Structure formats: structure tokens, C-alpha cells
Structure 1
Amino acid sequence: MTSRTPGRRFRLPRELFDELASGGGSPEAVAFLDRAERSRRLLLLRETLDLLEQRPEVRERRAAFDHAWHLLTEVSRGHPDVAEDLLMSPQLGSWLSHLLRRLQGTAGGPPLGTDVAHLFCLCLTAMVRAGLDGRLEVPVRDGGVVLPGLGLVRLDAPPEVTVATATLTGPRLTLDWAGGSVTVRPDRAGRTGHWLPLRTLHGASVPLDDVDPYRDLSEPIPPEPLDEETAARWQKVFAEAAAVLEPPTSRPGGLRVADVRRVVPQTGPALPRTARSGPVFSATTSDAFASMIVGLPDDGLTLAEAMVHEFQHSKLGALLHLFHLLDDDRGEAWYAPWRPDPRHLTGLLHGVYAFTGVAGFWRERLHDGGADPALAAFTFALLRLQCRLALRTLRTEARLTDVGRLLTHGLAGTLDGWLREPVAPDAARRAGAAARANLVEWRLRNLRCGDEERSLLRCERRAGRPAPSPGPWRAHLAPGPFWTDALLPLYRTPPAEPAEDPDTHLVLGAHGTARARYEDVLRGDPRDPHALTGWLLASAAGDPAYRRLLRRPERLHALEPQDPAELAAAATWLSSGPGG
């Protein structure tokens, strides 16, 4: 396999590509992606430097930039391991990509000079790690000076201070500014009033980065140092996660913890979670290979699942840097079972690849007993169904390249093999019901019949003629507000007894009672998409003819029934027509 990367051409051995296409990846496959990312970083660095040459922010401080570049060159020649570590650090990757987008006019942030001057902080880190003495000016932001990959020096300087002079003498770093001075020892791990070194998660040497300004997904953010109690919880939960992931495997769902380059604790308000995107916030950017942002969960099993999920995104992001996999107009039109909203095809591919890894993670837990067997069986059974459904969309609707077809073929092989594996019958039944419920409600919340189809449906019903076939038409997008799948947690862990709400009756198989209670809801709001979903599912369980309506439930919505009697009559009419 030959990549599209200009300059030096990378040839990915077919056996390594096949490993990655299956959703897994050996140490050799991940190492290849790492080398390819290194080449990409160098290309981005060259492009960024060329653009910087044209900027007045650089021309005005040409001597300072030349001095910094001379120091970096000295480090590269005398301490190539330090230079390599810095080049491949997530901190440099995120900053470099952000700065390039700033220079191209596609991103915002602080004054451009602040982003550009971060180069001096990277230079200072290189000097500290190489043990070089020297002096240079560095930017001050949010009251401190960051040493990417090492930590943060707090200056307690007033907001108007934007520059400090850094002087390295042996192990001591002194920062001077108008009105103050601070001296720290960056070689020491303990946190002091002025020096906040990055913590390392025990047992894996993975940095826990809570201070780097470029650790988020988009614009720079201020440092948010963890308190000691939270940091201790991170150490505990991470150790549990590492134990869950032992012994490492190259199969889909495996992760070698040593391959993770950085964990960023999600400390601000969590973004809204979807029903299947995971029990904890997590995210990844392809700018920082093998880095991940994760909220602190309660247990190691949850963290291990999130880490597998995000590392899958890193692998696919690296493959997308190497290969053109599909043509995508970025139209957000497609069903992704782990999202409440329509997705574009590249996002759908990312979801399939990530959740194939998560499905494999739960499959491993079935085999090693590392989780509740009922939970593992249900989650594996659900995700293999949902990933295969989304993959079918990609293989039939996306304009895949030859390499893209090979990748989706590999994923299909994995998922088709898993679909033949037996799981506990009750878990398989609940997983199928959960997958069906999510798809029906997603359609009711995001799709509508087009004007022509809607008019024909109403006309034919008024005329007393059979319902027309749904075949000639496709639904139109009409995304509604954010929603969560209320049925999924009930299917995952069914209650022992039904409650007053109709959902528990539906999940426990009391379909008649569930239908009657959904009708109570629909009397108050005939267009409630969740109640309409539950009513359809309960009705289909009692009358197989209604199952045809589940394929395109938006046709029932188009008839606008105003009460349960009209709803039942409309559903009966639709289900009796050709194709439902």
C-alpha cells in the first residue's frame, strides 16, 4: 500500500494494512503510523515556517526567532533523542496544526503573535531536556510560562506582563520580568508554589497534561491544574484501566497502554453525551497522535473502554493522513447509532472504526471475565449490530476509493465474523431491541417525508385507496433538538419490576400495557417522537404487520394523527399497503 503523502512515499506493508483494516493493529502497525506521523509533522513544520517568513510578527523579531532556531538546531545535533521526542509530542503536534490554521485564516485564538511566540516555549523545553545553558525571551500567558511536555511555571505576574526572560544555568531556570523574578528546578517532579510539573500516570509513563494551552480540540485554553485529591483518583483509576488492558492484544479492542502518548483530563463542563457515545466524555484530535482527552470516570473498566475508543480514532486519523479513503461532501445526512444527529460520511467512518474497537473491547471482557458477563454480552451484541449497519451505509452510499474499499472490507470481515459468534440469547434479544428502538427514534427525530410523498400519502388515505409503496422516495433531513436514547440504559440493565412509565413496560415485554401508557402520553402531545417510537415498538411486538412501519416510521408521522384512535387507524392503513 502506497500513501498519497508527497515527498518521501510511505509503503505500508499489506499485512500491516490488513491488521489496521480489521480494527486491530500489531506493535509494528502502530509503529508504522507513528513514523508516518513524524513525516507529516516535518512537512507541516516546513509549511508553517515558510508562512511565518511572510508575517510581520516574525520579521519584527527576526533576531529572536533566528536565535531560537539556532538553539533548536543545536539540540537536534547534540541531543537527537530530545529533538525527536519534542517533534512527536502531542504538545507540538497540536500547536503546530493550530498555528498553521491561524496562518491560513481558518482558526481563531489569541493575538497571532502569542501563538507564534509559543515556539520559544518549545525551544526552552528542548534546552531544559538537553541540559543546555542559555537565555531567551518567552511569552507569558495566563500568568505563567508553559514548558510543553514538562510543566508550568507560575509567575504570579500582573496581566499586563506578556514576556519574561528565561535564563537556564545548570538545573535552574530563572524567569525575570519587569517587577519580579522566579527560579525553579524543572528537573524535580514535586509541585511547588511556582513549579507545576506534568504528572505521570504510574506504571506507564503517560503524561497527565492539565496545563498545556494547546491540549484542547480547538482554540488555546488556560491551565487547569488538578488538585491532589483528583490527581490521586486519576492514578488509581488509570492503574485499574491498565490492568484491564493486560495482557495487550493486537486484536480489535486491544490497546498497549505504552502506545498512549498523553492523557488530558477533561476538567471543564462536559459536553452533552449521546446515548451510545460512552459513559464518560472523551475526544481525540488527529493533530496529536495517540493523545486523548478523557473525563475522570468512576472505575478503570470505563476508562479502559474510553482509551480504546480514542486510540481507534488516532489510528484512523493517521490512516486518513496517508490515504484518500472516500470522497465526502461533508453533508450531515447519515444515521450513526452512537449520535443523536445526522453525520457526514467521514464522521460515520470514524464512528464505525472506533466502535468496532469498543465492540472488540467488550468481546475481550467476555473471554477474560473482566466485567459483568451480562453487560459485556449485551454491549458486544449491540455494537456489532450497529457497526455493521453503519458500515453497510458506507459501503453502499459513500464514494470509496480502492483503499477505502479495502478498509471497509476488512471491517466487514471482523464484524461478520463476530455476528456469527453466539452470545447469551437474552442479551442478543435485548441488543436487537435496543438497536431497533434507537434507529426508529432517530428517524422520527431527524427525517421527514418530502412534500410529494407526504401529499400522496394524505391524498390516497382520504380517497380510501391502499397506502402507496415507500420505494420511490427517500426521506428528507429535518434534524430536531438534542436528545438521548432513554430506552438504551433500560435494555442494557432491565429493571426487576416495571415502573409507572411506559418504557419499563416495553423493555420487560408488557407490550399491551406499554402501548396504552404511550397513548396516554400521545393524547397530550400527538407528535412526541419518543412516545411514538415506544407505541410503534409495542404495537409491532403485538402485531407483526406493524413491523413494516419500523423501516420508515416518518411516513406515519407525515399523516399527523391527532389522537390514539387516529394513530391506530393510520398505522393499520400504512401497514396494509405494499411495503408498509
Structure 2
Amino acid sequence: MIAELWRSERSWRLTALLTVVNACAGREEATGPLAPIDETWSLLVEAFRAHPDVTEDVLSRPQVGIWAAHTLARLEESSPTGPEPLWADVGYLHSLVAAIAVRAGVPFELDVPVRGGTAVLPTVGAATFPPGTTRARVRAADGRATLMAGDVTVPVGARDGWHPSITVTVDRHDVPLRVELLDRDTYRALRGPSQPRTIDRAEVSHWRRLLGDAWDVLVREQPDRARSIAQSFRMLAPEPAEERFRQHSASGAEAFGGMLVSVPDDAVQLAATLVHETQHHKLHALTHLLTLTLDDPSVRYYAPWRDDPRPVAGLLQGAYAFAGIAGFWRIHRRHASPTDAPLAHVEFALWRRQTHLVLRTLAGCGRLTEHGERFVATLVSEVEGYLGESVPVAERAAADAIADDHWAMWRSHNLRLSEPVAAGLSAAWRRGREPVIPPAEGGSDPPRAIVEPGRIWFDGRAVLTRYRHGAAAEFAALRADPARVGRQVAGATGADLDLVGGDPEAAALGYLDELARDPTSVHGWVGLGLAHSDPGGPVARALLGRPELVLTVARREGAADPLALAAWIGRALTDDDVREAGPAGWSVT
């Protein structure tokens, strides 16, 4: 299957490349001081004839797709603007062709762009030049290649000024994985050009060790999945480490086989990330062949892995990725050590629940094509098979708390009532009348979705839960010194530490204190719902099921008595009013 997707992606990539070349025709500003595009193309054809395998290898790299997408967007602008001239972006084609010709042994001379003091020859390496240098000449003859700018000359392979391509190869049980680590390439990130980020030897060694250990986990426990990853994964752009249990990773539709990944906490986290991003690779490639969704930009949906409302295509991408994640934890929990098993159980229970919720939403949303319906039906069948598997009681309860927390935080931040509904709710509270509850979604005058910029730390309590189940000693240290919890886990508070640590009464007092200081604190309201002594009572029902109603009144009227306000809303809620996310979604305001 991966081989078929690669063949399709090759066609896609060559089409993008030809489109860039055609878009440059007759535009002097497209190449500026560099060689005209037809001369560069002629050298590419010559190199291809000399060594087609090298040409295919270079052009298949994920960064080539990122470059093509970014450059086409600039070429389509009537007056391309940006921090760099247009020719600096178009000139990456010159860098690609120079790299291919060097590897193919074809003699040539060709200028390439220098950005951030670096001239890149993809898959070969990079040369460093003084600040302010904008282009360098690459000269190759008699099996040797040199880059020159001003009075600086850097031979390919030199000790000083030259940085060879970084490749990591690991092999476990005759299943090899070969990955290029990108640090200096201009198109190492997913959203266009970026500055070089040097990876030193210690970091390379660390990544080699992590990849080896992660690969050992995958090959031993899930060999079929490992072989799929080995066939598709080609490039990793390392990023600095994030907070523990908050690793960042990303991939893109134009970059099949490439990932941007922050330094993981451990090998198991990296193994799960490889599964996650490879799922995205496969679905991105499939959507280049088949239309699966009928997108409507005016409607957004709840995605338990995101803090923002998502369009249907994004919802499907996440569902496929997290179906893979649920499958990974399902198997890994059987192999994990007694110390690591609790967290593996939590992750499995969490992601089977969340993925199943989203798949039900997709199945009923009415925005899937026939291909999309078949695809989702297959996923539903797979994930429903996970639901009957047993999970220890404590770990399942922890997963359910994480899910309830995120749902309530998401509704609080992303849903807004219409002005007439909000005004009526506020007036009823002031006058001591029963509230009129608007529908959760769909129906007459439901809430509308907004998209708030920036990270709001929905997951502080989830991170603490992962500490408790996966890093017990560190969690105990935090409990012993709660004043530092916010420094170690951004967005978390002492009340969160009490809640996750098993003291909901102390947590509730902490959240009430937070609301006394800020009656509109979403974190405080949802935390109060999680900590309430009656989990099925009206207070918890309101704060975990329809917190946007409580927040609406609190924003307009204040909240002198938070428990009374939440109970007032909660007593009026029916089961239909607090159901999980459904297929109707929310209109974007």
C-alpha cells in the first residue's frame, strides 16, 4: 500500500515541480541574479539521464513538497511580498538541481541562494558563509564540488564551513529505518522557509539513541506497523524539547514522509508519535487521490485533540491519526513494564473513547462523500472492537476525567450564545426565574463557534494525570512542593494538584478561591465541576455538560455564589441538553 502511495505522490510532486517551472516562464524577477529557469531545467534533465535514481531520491524528499507549495503561492501573487526576494524561493530549485548533479557526477557551474548564512544542497549538506551573503556558486568537476561566495571557498566535505547531511539508520530484527535529520535546510518546517537550526553531535547522538529505542518498541510489538513506517518515513526536522507530556509534532499534505518533532520524553512517546504522523502521511496521500469530505467552512466540530473548532476534513485527519494512537496503546499496554503500564492503560482508554466519539460525529455529519463514508465505516468497525476490552478501574476513571475536562474547557472557550439567548439567561438569573436552556447544537438558536488564537492550556490537569500514572516520583515531588506546579506544568494550579492527587475537597476550595478573584475563569469553573462532591448532581452537570451557559451569566452578572449559579443551570438541564458532541456541529461566528 505504501508503495502505491509513493507512486501517486511522485506524480503529485512532479506536477507541482512542473507548475513552478511554468509559472516562472517570462518572469525575470523569478530567478533574479540566478540562472534562467530553462538552463536549470536542462541541467536537471542531464543529471536525470546520468543517474535517475539520485534524481528520484532528491525530488521525493518531503522538503521539496513544502518548497513547491510555498513558492507556488508566492508566484500566484500579483506582487509577491516577503522578507526575501522571490528569486530566493524559486532558487531552491537551483539548489535541488545542484545537489542532484553533484551526486550524479555531472560537471557544472550554477549559482544557488544563501539564506541565513547557509547555502543548502539537499541530501548532500550545507556550506556556511558570512552574514549578508545572498548567493554562492557551486562548481563540480572531476568528482569534486566546491561552493564559493566572495573570498570564501567551501569544498564539499571540508572540515571547516561544510556540514554534511545527517542520516540516522537503525535496524531491529531485519527491519531497517533510515531517516534524514534536517537542521539547516530552508524548508525543514511545514509552513514555508525557516532559519537554520544547528544540531550538534550530542543532539544527533540523542536522536539516534531515541530512534533506535523507539524502533525496537515498534518492531517487537507491532511489526506490521513498523514496516509501514519504515517505507514512508524519510525526514525528521528536530525541534527543542517541550514540557514533559506536551511533545509537539506535525506533518503536512505536501510533505509525504516528513515530520517536525520536538525532542520526546522517552522512546515510547517517540514510537507513538511515529505512528501518529505516519497515519497523517497515509491519509494526506489518499486525499490526493480521492475526495473524502465535502467541506463547509462555515461549520466546525469538536476534536478532543485540539483546542479549536475543526472543519470536517481536519476532523477526519485527527480521527485517522488517533485511531492509530489508540491501536498503538492497545498493544503496548500488554508489553509495558509494571511501572509504565498504568499510563499506557490511561492512554488507550482515553483515545478509544475520544476517537469513537469523533467517528460517530463524522458518520452522521452528512459531509462525507461515498468514499469518505466507506473510509469512516471501516474506522468505526476497528475502533468499536476496542470498546469491549477491559481497562483497570482507576486508569479508566482517569481517562474519563481527562475527556470530561477537555470537553468542558472546549465548550467554555469556543462556544458563544446569541445575544438574545444570553440576555434572556442573564435576566432570568437576576429575577430568580427558571432558565430557558438553548440547544447544545443544531435546533433553534444554538451556540456558535468562535476561533480564539493562541494556546490556552486546556490540558494542565491531563498533564498532571500523566505525571501521576507515568512518573509517580515526580508527581510526589510536586505534591510535596505545590508552589512550583505552575512553573513545571504551564496552566496548572495547586487546586489541580489536589484534584489529581485525590483530594477533591481541597481542590474545590482552591477553585472557589480562583473564582472569587476572577468570576470568568474557565479553568476555575471546570475544575469546580470536576471536584464537586456530587459527580452526577446539578453543579457538576452544568459545569461539565454546558459550562458556556454558566460562563455567559458570570461574564454578564458576576458570580457571587458560583455553586448557586451552577446549580441553577444544572437543575434545568435534561439529558438531551448535555449530550456529547453530535454531528450537527456549530456555525462559525
TM-score normalised by L of structure 2: 0.83
**How far off is 1:253 after superposition?**
8.8
SS at match of 1:560: helix
Partner of 2:461: 487
Q: Which residue in the other structure is 2:567 paired with?
A: 572
Partner of 1:10: none
Distance 1:130 1:505 in 2: 63
Partner in structure 2 of residue 3 of structure 1 = none
Whether the 8 Å CA contact 1:249–1:256 is kept in 2: the answer is no
Counterpart residue number, 2:369: 401
Within 5 Å, give how 1:523-562 maps onto structure 2: 523-539=516-532, 541-549=534-542, 550-560=544-554
Query: Which range moves more in the overlay, 335-344 or 380-389?
Result: 335-344
Residue 197 to residue 563, structure 1, CA distance change in 2 (3 Å): same
1:252–1:408 Cα change, 3 Å: farther
When residues 65 and 50 of structure 1 are mapped into structure 2, their CA distance, relative to the original with a 3 A threshold, is closer
CA distance, structure 1, for counterparts of residue 378 and residue 198 of structure 2: 42
- The match for 2:486 is none
Q: CA deviation at 1:515?
A: 2.6
Two-structure CA RMSD over aligned residues (Å): 3.0
Once residues 19 and 364 of structure 2 are traced to their aligned partners in structure 1, the CA distance between those partners, rounded to angstroms, is 37
Following superposition, the deviation at residue 439 of structure 1 comes to 0.8
Unaligned runs of 5+ in 2: 171-176, 469-474, 483-493, 578-589
Does the residue aligned with 1:482 lie in a helix, a strand or coil?
A: coil
Moved more, 436-445 or 506-515: 506-515
Q: 1:525 to 1:253 in 2, by over 3 A?
A: farther
- The answer as to 2:386 corresponding to 1:418 is yes
1:39-50 → structure 2 map (5 Å cutoff): 39-50=11-22
| Equivalences for residues 165-184 of structure 1 within 5 A | 165-184=137-156
3-state DSSP class of the match of 1:421? coil
Which residue identity lines up with residue 405 of structure 1 in the other structure? E
Shift of 1:559: 2.6
Match for 1:317: what amino acid?
A: H
Partner in structure 2 of residue 18 of structure 1 = none
For the 8 Å contact 1:377–1:424, the answer to whether it is kept is yes
Of residues 210, 215, 221, the one that matches 2:194 is 221
In the TM superposition, what are the counterparts of 1:247-286 in structure 2 within 5 Å?
Answer: 247=220, 249=222, 256-267=229-240, 279-286=246-253
- What corresponds to 1:519 in structure 2? 512
* Change over 3 Å in CA distance of 1:508–1:297 after alignment to 2: closer
Structure 1 pair 398–492 and aligned structure 2 pair: CA distance change class (3 A): farther
The alignment status of 1:470 with 2:438, answered yes or no, reads yes
Deviates more, 1:377-386 or 1:353-362: 353-362
Residue 291 of structure 1, aligned match among 245, 258, 275: 258
> What residue is the counterpart of 1:7 in the other structure?
none
Contact 1:447 1:479 in 2 (8 A): no
2:417 equivalent among 435, 439, 449: 449
Q: Partner residue of 2:57? A: 85
User: Counterpart of 2:99 in structure 1: which amino acid?
Assistant: T
> Which of 328, 351, 364 pairs up with 2:295?
328
Distance 1:524 1:151, change over 3 A: same
> Are 2:125 and 1:131 equivalent residues in the alignment?
no
Deviation per CA, 1:289-341: give whole Å up to 9, x if none.
Answer: 11111122242222222222222221121122222221223357432222223
Aligned residue type for 2:8: A
Cα distance change on mapping 1:554 and 1:75 into 2, 3 Å: same
Distance in 1 (alpha carbons) for counterparts of 2:108 and 2:563: 81
Q: Which amino acid aligns with 2:512?
A: E
Alignment of 1:158-197 (within 5 A): 159=132, 161-185=133-157, 192-197=159-164
Alpha-carbon distance between aligned partners in 2 of 1:67 and 1:436, rounded to the nearest angstrom:
60
Per-residue deviation, 1:63:
6.9
Paired with 1:539 and 1:63, the residues of 2 have a C-alpha distance of 70
Partner deviation per Cα, 1:526-557 (whole Å, 9 max, x = no partner) = 22111111212233635534453232121122
CA distance in 2, matches of 1:457, 1:411: 41
Change over 3 Å in CA distance of 1:144–1:432 after alignment to 2? closer
Amino acid at match of 2:185: D
- 1:379 counterpart = 2:374: no
Total equivalences in the alignment: 539
The answer to whether the 8 Å contact 1:253/1:357 transfers is no
Equivalent residue, structure 2, for 1:309: 276
Report deviation, 1:387.
1.7
- TM-superposed CA distance for 1:372, in Å, is 0.8
Q: 62-71 or 319-328, which moves further after superposition? A: 62-71
Unpaired segments of 5 or more residues in structure 1? Answer: 1-28, 186-190
Instruction: Tell me whether 1:202 sits opposite 2:174 in the alignment.
Output: no
Distance change in 2, residues 1:162/1:543 (3 Å): closer
- Percentage identity across paired residues of the two chains: 35
Distance 2:366 2:81 in 1: 28
> Does the Cα contact within 8 Å between 1:283 and 1:292 map onto a contact in 2?
yes
Deviation (angstroms), 1:431: 0.6
Which one-letter code corresponds to 2:134 in the other structure?
T
Q: 1:540 to 1:121 in 2, by over 3 A?
A: same
- Taking a change above 3 Å as real, the CA distance of residues 289 and 107 of structure 1, as seen in their structure-2 partners, is farther
8 Å CA contact 1:249, 1:255 repeated in 2 = no
Q: Which residue of structure 2 lines up, in the alignment, with residue 368 of structure 1?
A: 335
Q: Counterparts of 2:479 and 2:289 in 1: how far apart (Å)?
A: 52
Aligned CA distance change for structure 1 residues 75 and 450 (closer, same or farther; 3 Å): same
> Equivalent residue for 1:339?
306
Amino acid of the structure 2 residue aligned with 1:328: D
TM-score by length of 1: 0.84
Alignment check: 8 A CA contact 1:384 1:419 kept? yes
* Structure 2 residue 317 is the aligned partner of structure 1 residue 350: yes
Alpha-carbon distance change, 56 to 529 in structure 1, aligned in 2, over 3 angstroms = same
SS at match of 2:361: helix
- What secondary structure is seen at the aligned counterpart in 2 of 1:399? coil
The SS at the match of 2:236 is strand
**Structure 2 counterpart of 1:434, one-letter code:** I
CA distance in 1, matches of 2:299, 2:369: 20
Q: Take 2:508 and 2:152, find their aligned partners in 1: how far apart are those partners?
A: 72
Matched residue SS, 2:45:
helix
CA distance in 2, matches of 1:301, 1:551: 34
SS in 1 for 2:386: helix
Do the aligned residues in 2 keep the contact of 1:522 with 1:531 (CA within 8 Å)?
yes
Aligned-partner residue type, residue 218 of structure 2:
L
Amino acid aligned to 2:517? G
Structure 1 distance, partners of 2:162, 2:32, is 31
Residues 2, 228 of structure 2: 8 Å contact kept: no
SS of residue in 2 equivalent to 1:400: coil
Give the superposition deviation at 1:453: 2.0
In the superposition, relative to structure 1, how do residues 368 and 181 fare at CA in structure 2: closer, same or farther (>3 Å)?
Answer: same
Structure 2 contact 237–259 (Cα < 8 Å) conserved: yes
1:378–1:573: structure 2 CA closer, same or farther, 3 Å change rule?
A: same
1:463 and 1:201, CA in 2 relative to 1: closer, same or farther beyond 3 A? Answer: same
Q: Is the 8 A contact 2:322 2:355 kept in 1?
A: yes
Return closer, same or farther for 1:209/1:505 CA change in 2, 3 Å cut-off. Answer: closer
User: In the aligned structure 2, how far is the partner of 1:388 from the partner of 1:451?
Assistant: 34
Corresponding residue SS for 1:420: coil
Equivalent residues of 1:252, 1:356 under 8 A apart = no
What is the alpha-carbon distance in structure 1 between the residues aligned to residue 234 and residue 118 of structure 2? Answer: 24
Distance across 1 between alignment mates of 2:400 and 2:265: 28
Q: Contact 2:31–2:87 (CA<8 Å) still a contact in 1?
A: no
